Structure 1
């Protein structure tokens, strides 16, 4: 997909100022940020540096953003028929304990498994290898019942990484490179830091001294936190998570419908605030006005990362993603920055409004049903747009998506709701002797041309 005109100079300056302000206020030795969108060239900004030049190709540790890659690998296995999301992991791995936990629960952090592998890995900085990780699972606790609530677990994603490796017949890193990184051309994303990797720091709370953090290899816990990458690669990855069809039109990595499934919220991260949700390996942060940012944050010794794509809302461009990577382990202001960059880009440089163009007419046998219908005492408008039958409540707000129907080839006058209200349910048409549609049933509720009670009383007829 070719990019459009350059980002407006004023907008680029505004975005750059946001990055520089956070770098200065949060005292981050180095920050690299990037914004990807289908209608503009890639925008990047790097600030700082500690003895080595920092640029768009500088690698940072991305920590738990790694989990989004492991989640995609797991969904690839599902789509290829190698597993079901409701399979217990013990069906595919020989485990001494916790084999009854399902793939879906591990992906959504609702399995109740303890956060880290057995032992004090954050004291020793020595993570177990694959054999030890599995062997010591019987020493790891189930701290909550499955499905009780959200409980973040690096151990759970590490187990899924071992599952993917076994099903594909290679190491997790090999499978990731072959099945995700190479097809999406994420050439600067690696499991081992390259020569362009920067150093991570702990910045002293009461002075300007920055203490280098030791490099760490997380072994078998790598599927939860191992990767290194650049802001440019991660902005592209965020755009893929939000709009896969734009970056992977052939669905070589994952079908768009599967990403839809991953983005559906399965739990909230806080029972009272409801400010963030978790899907299948993805964090979902609502932005208001039917806009959601989808991605993940990451933290490792000396590094923080935040990688999010934007979906929905007026002015949002296709394939829109932002990434912010920083070489400080404590500058949590970095986590909010990609959301601010995405919002500022949409506000000050919105996507062009696509002109409406006439299209082909509705099929002859459906034209008579278009227009207003009543169901459950409420009025709905049925229409034909973009080659499909649609319906929306007459009082729905403009941003609410319509229900979309597709015909069942083996059942005349029966449609499946494929998205929107009552997704999955059937719409059945009833015709009179002349072939006119006189009644419909949607999710078994009766729809008529005029408002009726459930007993069939027609207010217009008065009887």
Structure 2
């Protein structure tokens, strides 16, 4: 079938809040250009942010009798891995596993049971990319018993921890792990513990009645060849899901700013998402243009901006789902999804990054007015101001109810170190974020209670610049 014919349900400009001025018109044109130039039969996008209405737009045709709209489902491929990774981290937070546990501690496996959960999440286990056999020739994925039995025929292609090596098989094993620990199938656990709590009603292991057809667009003509439907069986935790652009924009926003969409931490604690977003490895040893955390792709941009999420590719479909963090103009809970019914339109994978940047630049988040607040507690007021450590100058201050410190020469936008009191120790603080996270800050006072010195991560801090051998808090 050729996409876009009379039978295809062609729509152009259908969506939510598409008629807005300025940035929406700009983004509509960006989407239209990619759809036309990359020759995508159906392209659906959505942008979620906490301070604006949901924006969504679709252009093209579904390849079926159904019209293209916000409820049209697309295959999201490896974006599925982000869901499986969240399920794994839920198990860790519930005390069901440790990230450094070998798989064999929880699963009966004929081989590779020594590989750890952390290595599999970050694609640094060295496990081969796919299950045993020529899956992409047969388009027949193994069922669970077969997947496990064939592990004895699977290679470890690299030593664990040597480098990044992407593995669908590794994520399939993590999905099996989640099911065993939770007492259900991966799909059941996913629906109960993630999809339902976050209101992702249009995300499912099945395409449903409103799904678009996936196509291979001919390189030398305008013909679009439909790709066969596939069920990924036991490899489902790596690539099985179908969804809409609006659901996926919400999911991207959750990955970037979980507290905004899950304020009680019912799905996952914000600190756990922080952990998942910390880069474990780069994806290329020379071009550090992307990193990988615990199940998440991290794409850095200037001005301390990072896009966090995942791409997806399955026969006839491409997906890009990313949330935006940091930088001037970035709104809270900012996420973008681009879903395409072409397996070769690589331009679609760049589009979510471009749309996020355009929204932050041309419709920036409102600037919250500053208002006076309470000062530092009395015992801490004397330590505010400038201090010297290792020959460098630092500024300690009290903002938003916490003690903070910057390097006097820190570049603009670098977050401060933030300290929290250590219970039971009036003059000891723990660094909870920023420089020296985890380390202690200890205050030294003279007889009248004045703070005359500090130790931070064991380094001495004084009110004036001192050499290491000329140091006396009494001076």
Whole-Å separation in 2 of the counterparts to 1:168 and 1:56: 33
Equivalent of residue 461 in structure 2, options 410, 424, 447: 447
Equivalent of residue 39 in structure 1, options 45, 48, 51: 51
Matched, 1:136 2:150: yes
SS of match in other structure, 2:104: helix
Equivalent residue runs for 1:118-129 within 5 Å = 118-129=132-143
Q: Deviations over 1:149-172 (max 9, x none)?
A: 000000000000000000000000
Whole-Å separation in 1 of the counterparts to 2:391 and 2:470: 11
Matched, 1:290 2:301: no
Matched, 1:386 2:423: no
* Number of the residue aligned with 1:71: 85
Cα contact 1:407–1:416 (8 A) shared by 2 = yes
Alignment TM-score, normalising by the size of structure 2: 0.95
Q: How far is the alpha carbon of 1:10 from its aligned partner? A: 1.8
Q: Decide which moves more: 277-286 or 449-458.
A: 449-458
* Number of the residue aligned with 2:7: none
Whole-Å separation in 1 of the counterparts to 2:19 and 2:365: 11
SS of match in other structure, 1:82: coil
Equivalent residue runs for 1:140-219 within 5 Å = 140-219=154-233
Cα contact 1:165–1:172 (8 A) shared by 2 = yes
* Number of the residue aligned with 1:48: 60
Whole-Å separation in 2 of the counterparts to 1:283 and 1:148: 18
Whole-Å separation in 1 of the counterparts to 2:19 and 2:82: 28
Cα contact 2:318–2:342 (8 A) shared by 1 = yes
Cα contact 1:65–1:307 (8 A) shared by 2 = yes
Equivalent of residue 22 in structure 1, options 23, 34, 37: 34
Whole-Å separation in 1 of the counterparts to 2:328 and 2:303: 9
Q: Deviations over 1:110-146 (max 9, x none)?
A: 0000000000010111111111111111111000000
Q: 5+ residue gaps in structure 1?
A: none
Whole-Å separation in 1 of the counterparts to 2:112 and 2:437: 34
Q: Deviations over 1:322-379 (max 9, x none)?
A: 0000000011111100000000011110000010011111110000000000000000
Equivalent residue runs for 1:346-425 within 5 Å = 346-425=360-439
Whole-Å separation in 2 of the counterparts to 1:7 and 1:410: 58
Q: How far is the alpha carbon of 1:8 from its aligned partner? A: 4.6
Whole-Å separation in 2 of the counterparts to 1:411 and 1:377: 28
Task: Let me know the Cα RMSD of the aligned residues.
Answer: 1.1
Matched, 1:345 2:359: yes
Q: Deviations over 1:260-287 (max 9, x none)?
A: 0000000000000000000000000001
Cα contact 1:7–1:40 (8 A) shared by 2 = no
SS of match in other structure, 1:116: coil
Q: Deviations over 1:6-55 (max 9, x none)?
A: 98512111101101100000000000000000000000010000343111
Alignment TM-score, normalising by the size of structure 1: 0.97
SS of match in other structure, 2:58: strand
Whole-Å separation in 1 of the counterparts to 2:386 and 2:226: 67
* Number of the residue aligned with 2:249: 235
Whole-Å separation in 1 of the counterparts to 2:416 and 2:375: 19
Whole-Å separation in 2 of the counterparts to 1:412 and 1:146: 44
* Number of the residue aligned with 1:106: 120
Q: Deviations over 1:377-432 (max 9, x none)?
A: 00000000111000000111120000000010122201000000000000000000
Cα contact 1:6–1:41 (8 A) shared by 2 = no
Cα contact 2:18–2:24 (8 A) shared by 1 = no
SS of match in other structure, 2:234: helix
Equivalent of residue 108 in structure 2, options 91, 94, 113: 94
